[in-house]
Amino acid sequence: VLAKHGITLSELRHCPISEGTSAAKSYDVVFCSKIFFKNFENVGGNTVVIPLKNVMSDKEIEEGLQAAGLLD
Alpha-helix residue ranges (DSSP H) falling in the chain = 17-23, 58-67
Kindly report the average pLDDT of the chain as a whole number: 92
Query: Is pLDDT of 21 > 90?
Result: no
pLDDT exceeds 90 at position 50:
yes
Write down the pTM of the prediction: 0.87
Is there a contact between 17 and 42 (Cβ–Cβ < 8 Å)? no
